[in-house]
Structure 1
Amino acid sequence: MSTIRPARWTRHHLDRLVDAEATTAPAIRTAPPRVLPHHDVWDLWPVQETDGSPTVVEGAELWMALSAPAVGHPEDRHDRARLRLLAHADGVWTDLGDVFPDGASLGSREWSGSAVRRPDGTVSVFYTAAGERGEARRTFRQSVVEARPRLTTDGGAARLERHVEHRVLLRSDDHHYLPADESDGGPGRIRAFRDPGWFRDPADGRDHLLVAASVPGRDHFMGAVALARATPDGWDLLPPLLVADGVNHEIERPHVVVHRSRYYLFFSTGRRSFHPPGSAPTGLYGFVAPELAGPYEPLNGSGLVLRNPATRPDQAYAWLVLDDLRVVGFANYLPGDGGEPGRADAAQARARFCGTAAPVLRLTLEGATTITRR
Structure 2
Amino acid sequence: MKLVLMECDLWTTVQPGEELKDTGDHRKMRLQKCRQGKAFAKISLALGDEQQQHVQHLSSPKDVWEELQRLYAPMDSKLRILQLRRQLYSEKLESHGGMDACLGKINHIVTELTNIGDRIGHGDLAMIILCGLPEDWDVVISSICNLPESEFCCSTVKRRLIAEWVKRIESSGKCAQAMAATTAERSSTDRRQSTKSMLVCFRCGKLGHLARECTSKAQKSLKHPKAPTGKQTKTRPCNMLASYGIRTGDKSISWIVDSGATHHMCPDGRYFTRLHKADATNSRVCTADGSTTLAAGKGTVIVRLLHNKRMLDKFVAHNTLLVPGIKQGVLSVRQMVENNRRIVFDKIGFHIYDERGKLLTEAEQQVRLYVTKTV
Larger radius of gyration: 2
Between Structure 1 and Structure 2, which shows a larger proportion of helix residues?
Answer: 2
- The two structures have a TM-score, normalised by structure 1, of 0.18
Structure with bigger RCO (C-alpha 8 Å, 6+ apart): 1
Between Structure 1 and Structure 2, which shows a larger proportion of strand residues?
Answer: 1
- The two structures have a TM-score, normalised by structure 2, of 0.18
